[in-house]
Amino acid sequence: MTAERIFGREEEISRLRACANSHEAELVILYGRRRVGKTFLIRQCFDNQFDFNYVGAYNKPTKMQLENFATALNDYSGVSRPVPKNWSEAFRQLREHLEQIQKGTKQIVFFDEMPWMDTGRSGFLSAFEYFWNSWGSAQDNLMFIVCGSATTWITSKLLNNRGGLYHRATERIYLHPFTLKEAEKYLISKKVRWNRYDITECYMTMGGIPFYLKQIDPNYTYTQNIDRLFFAPKAILRDEFHSLYRTLFSNAEAYEQIVMALGTKRIGLTRCEIIKSTGLADNGKLTTMLNDLASSDFIRPYNYFGNKKRDVVYQLADYYTLFFLHFLKDSHGIDQHFWTKTIDNPVRRAWAGYAFEQVCKDHLQQVKRGIGISSVLSESSSWFGKNEDDAWAQIDLVIDRRDRVINLCEIKFSQNPFVIDKEYDLKLRNKMAIFQAATKTRKALNLTMITTYGVKQNMYSNIAQSQVTIDDLFE
């Protein structure tokens, strides 16, 4: 087993190796967002050396899935077997194959995109359950790896299964996107030499998704790459949106309606506001869809600070989706050099503010380290509200600390050190006063500025008790 060609993923590789070297049966569940590198990790970690590997086919009937299964099994076994009539017979054939190749080392079986195998009335899940419980779980030399992008299916059908697969998974690995630091290292490995401002803005367009980052050409600048990948004719990422949702969710149009509605409001929407905006029914299906999107990291549910009984707010959190809705959804006929020509476009500035806020929330530990409170227990949230005089304020990020201090974080993405002038100083003071009056908190309030290049020193800059820059986010 080798990992020389894998970038990063040290913890995941270590856990996979531990399972491969154990002396008991292992059912390993690897899941995560589409394009995050799950298949690549498994194939490279095990150097494509499997005792059996089968990949589910998207949106194909059971008959075709079984035909593909038979082809794969015949290739691995060298034995010509008939196409199984159902999944129970397919797993019986797999058992026969594995019994015929008993060996001293761990047998590795890899089912990729398992959710796509579980077509309507196929009986797949019950057949797999019987295979594992009646035979697989007793084979000390078997490692069965299940992989899939449909996070909801993986979670509900396997990890939270209340039937025969309850607590059967011996290892579960959620593969996260790269952090800013990991994205930087990955780009450097591809000979991409950009400054951290450009890397951060690139992250704001596509997140830490390895497949997207892989498309970057080191021979082009950041802006040229964005034009090439998103705005050029037949650009590879231009039409990713519908494919992304339709391969994950059976009722993709409804899911798309939800994220499109969320994309219109930076602070997010409550459930009632989502219903009003989309026209979707207020029922259990909506609850399931919101949970699905949250578990797949497309949206972020959060509570208001100091008012946990208030309706949960859902905020769009997927970078690619956010970028698509702002610039690609209605971009037919748009200039193929759009990104290069619109550096100071107001729409782009508004998008950058929203996207950078998401970057900070996804790097909360780095933010806390930058402030110097890594070891302090805390809870994070957002807040907007008004005081008794109906004066409104919004706080991008609230860090409520156990040491009776609250950091109110103001997040700004700018090309230069951020300048706090007299007018902005007054705005910040009003924000803090409205927050204190509305929440009636007795804790000390510390203002934290999270910016790209810090705050320019002047007579107003001392209002910020602490600062965090993009360099801190790369730690």
- For 79-97, the pLDDT digits (tens) are 999 999 999 999 999 999 9
Residue 97 belongs to some domain of the structure: yes
pLDDT band, residue 119 (cuts 50/70/90): very high
CATH of the domain at 448: 3.40.1350
Q: Counting Cβ atoms within 10 Å, is residue 282 exposed (0-12), middle (13-18) or buried (19+)?
A: exposed
pLDDT score for 82: 96
CA–CA dist 355, 320 (Å, integer): 10
For residues 22 and 103, state if they share a domain.
yes
pLDDT score for 405: 97
Residue 365 belongs to some domain of the structure: no
Residue 3 belongs to some domain of the structure: no
Residue 309 belongs to some domain of the structure: yes
Q: State mean pLDDT over 304-314.
A: 74
Q: Does 257 score more than 50 pLDDT? A: yes
For residues 229 and 254, state if they share a domain.
no
For residues 166 and 189, state if they share a domain.
no
Residue 135 belongs to some domain of the structure: yes
**Token duo for residue 202:** 């690139």
For residues 308 and 342, state if they share a domain.
no
**Token duo for residue 174:** 């959620």
For residues 407 and 309, state if they share a domain.
no
pLDDT score for 363: 97
For residues 157 and 234, state if they share a domain.
no
pLDDT band, residue 301 (cuts 50/70/90): very high
**Degrees, nearest 5: CA angle 154-202-360:** 70
**In which domain, by residue range, is 468 found?**
372-473
Q: State mean pLDDT over 304-327.
A: 86
Q: Does 4 score more than 50 pLDDT? A: no
Q: Please count the structural domains in the chain.
A: 4
CATH of the domain at 116: 3.40.50.300
CA–CA dist 46, 278 (Å, integer): 45
Q: Does 258 score more than 50 pLDDT? A: yes
Q: Can you say whether residue 267 is alpha, beta or left, with left for phi > 0 and alpha for psi between -120 and 50 degrees? A: alpha
pLDDT score for 1: 41
Q: Does 72 score more than 50 pLDDT? A: yes
Q: Which of 174, 193, 224 is the last residue of a domain?
A: 174
Q: State mean pLDDT over 300-307.
A: 79
Q: pLDDT above 70 covers what percent of the chain?
A: 97
Residue 388 belongs to some domain of the structure: yes
* pLDDT, mean over the chain: 93
For residues 275 and 293, state if they share a domain.
yes
**Token duo for residue 201:** 């803005």
For residues 202 and 278, state if they share a domain.
no
Residue 364 belongs to some domain of the structure: no
For residues 232 and 250, state if they share a domain.
no
Residue 362 belongs to some domain of the structure: no
